[in-house]
Amino acid sequence: MSGRRTAMSWLGENGFRCVDGDDVRTGVCGLAGEVPMVTIAQDGKDVDRLSNVSMSFILAIDAPHGVRWRRQMERGGGRLEDFVKESDSLMYDCENKGTPLRTWMRKATLRALNQGSLEEFYSQLEGLDLRNPVHARPSWDMYFLQLAVLASKRTNCMKRAVGAVIVKNNRVVSTGYNGTPSGLKNCSEGGCKRCNSFARMGLSLDACLCLHAEENAIIEAGSSRCEDATLYSSLFPCLACTKLIMQVGITRLIYNSSYATDERAEAMMISSGIQVLQGGPL
Question: Which positions ≥6 away from 282 have C-beta within 8 Å?
Answer: 142, 145, 146, 149, 234, 256
Does the annotation count 214 as an active-site position? yes
User: Nearer Cβ to Zn ion, position 11 or 158?
Assistant: 158
Minimum distance, C-beta of residue 162 to Zn ion, in the bound complex (Å): 8
What's the CA gap between 151 and 41, in Å, rounded? Answer: 32
Minimum distance, C-beta of residue 210 to Zn ion, in the bound complex (Å): 3
- Nearest-10 crossing angle of helices 3-13, 118-127: 60
Binding Zn ion (rule: CB under 5 A), the pick from 7, 24, 195, 229 is 195
Minimum distance, C-beta of residue 164 to Zn ion, in the bound complex (Å): 9
Rg (CA), the chain: 24
Binding Zn ion (rule: CB under 5 A), the pick from 187, 254, 265, 269 is 187
Minimum distance, C-beta of residue 242 to Zn ion, in the bound complex (Å): 8
What's the CA gap between 31 and 17, in Å, rounded? Answer: 10
Question: Binding string, 48-87, against Zn ion, x = CB under 5 A?
Answer: ----------------------------------------
Task: Give the footprint of Zn ion on residues 86-115 (CB under 5 A).
Answer: none
Question: Binding string, 130-169, against Zn ion, x = CB under 5 A?
Answer: ---------------------------x------------
Work out whether the CA dihedral 244, 245, 247, 248 comes out positive or negative: positive
Choosing from 119, 214, 227, 266, which is the catalytic residue?
214
List phi, psi (to 5°) of 233.
Answer: -135, 140
Binding Zn ion (rule: CB under 5 A), the pick from 177, 212, 229, 274 is 212
Minimum distance, C-beta of residue 185 to Zn ion, in the bound complex (Å): 11
Give me the helices (H) in the chain, please. 3-13, 21-26, 44-50, 65-74, 80-92, 101-107, 118-127, 140-152, 213-221, 223-226, 239-247, 263-271
Burial (CB < 10 A; 0-12, 13-18, 19+), residue 81, is exposed
Give me the helices (H) in 93-209, please. 101-107, 118-127, 140-152
Name the segment binding Zn ion (CB under 5 A); options: 21-29, 94-102, 139-147, 192-200.
Answer: 192-200
User: Nearer Cβ to Zn ion, position 76 or 183?
Assistant: 183
Total residues interacting with Zn ion, rule: CB under 5 A? 8
User: Nearer Cβ to Zn ion, position 97 or 160?
Assistant: 160
What's the CA gap between 14 and 163, in Å, rounded? Answer: 40
Spatial CA neighbour of 232 closest among 214, 246, 219: 214
CB 83, CB 63: distance < 8 Å: no
Minimum distance, C-beta of residue 220 to Zn ion, in the bound complex (Å): 15
Binding Zn ion (rule: CB under 5 A), the pick from 11, 145, 166, 210 is 210
Binding Zn ion (rule: CB under 5 A), the pick from 192, 244, 254, 274 is 192
Count of alpha carbons within 13 angstroms of residue 238, beta-carbon side: 13
Question: Binding string, 230-249, against Zn ion, x = CB under 5 A?
Answer: --------x--x--------
Which residue ranges make up the site for Zn ion (CB under 5 A)? 157, 187, 192, 195, 210, 212, 238, 241
> Catalytic residue numbers?
214
